[in-house]
Structure 1
């Protein structure tokens, strides 16, 4: 797996993730309905035309999921045990159908696990930008990461 182990992360390391994702109407409608969110700002074009946005907003919870997902390939693929929490989630600008999202990650802290000798905690700051470089989402995430297996350290 290409994911990094706990020992591979360095505080202040900045990742600019290569993957990007263009979001569309079908994504927004499907996610909103699958997550039981009937907000007309997401699923009703006629309603949304009468708002200050003049169009549907892309579901912010899906934006958050894409933000985290874009980071996985470079950071935690196969080496994370689980997410322990997300905080300071912000959406400073809207996302619309047709926007292309990209992500960056900053390692802001790390420490050994107090309860698991085979793991450590890594705190990430994830930022999501649209095609114009506008920050559209940001969050802090704490992940429980596997340490490098003993046989792999030799």
Structure 2
């Protein structure tokens, strides 16, 4: 399985990724602890009950990592040279333990690399939804993508 080469990306193309994942308490506690984010909103159920959410919410950087990974097998597996940056990341709705997330991607733009002849730059918009089709994360990401290998090389 491989992702798409730069030439294969079409501006405006939309992808609904097949992968889904249910978020567990362990996911949240482990990620939050590993990244040393000691915010009680993620770790302290009694504290979280007093917030507007009424329960612990998933660490938002875990949400970014998960939603940003659902596309890999279909779009960038083995054809990416890496992320160049994120233009925006928003969280319109919190994610809770037990939510099942899925993602969609739109190809926003692309251009030839100005410094490399083997690659191009692609702008992706990734959107994450919960089991109720509520948008929980939206981000624009810029990636450096390989071009198709030249014949005979």
Q: Same fold (TM over 0.5)?
A: yes
Q: 1:90 to 1:152 in 2, by over 3 A?
A: farther
The Cα RMSD (Å) is 1.2
Residues 94-109 of structure 1 mapped to structure 2, 5 A cutoff:
94-109=94-109
Matches of 2:131 and 2:74, distance apart in 1 = 20
4+ runs deviating over 6 angstroms: none
Matches of 1:107 and 1:152, distance apart in 2 = 30
> Structure 1: which 5+ residue stretches go unaligned?
none
Aligned to 1:112: 112
> Does structure 1 residue 40 correspond to structure 2 residue 16?
no
State the Cα deviation string for residues 82-101 of structure 1 (Å, max 9, x = none).
10001210000000000000
> Does structure 1 residue 25 correspond to structure 2 residue 19?
no
Matched pairs, number: 153
Q: CA deviation at 1:151?
A: 2.3
> Structure 2: which 5+ residue stretches go unaligned?
none
Matches of 1:146 and 1:3, distance apart in 2 = 10
Residues 1-154 of structure 1 mapped to structure 2, 5 A cutoff:
1-151=1-151
| Structure-2-length-normalised TM-score | 0.97
Q: CA deviation at 1:152?
A: 7.6
| Structure-1-length-normalised TM-score | 0.96
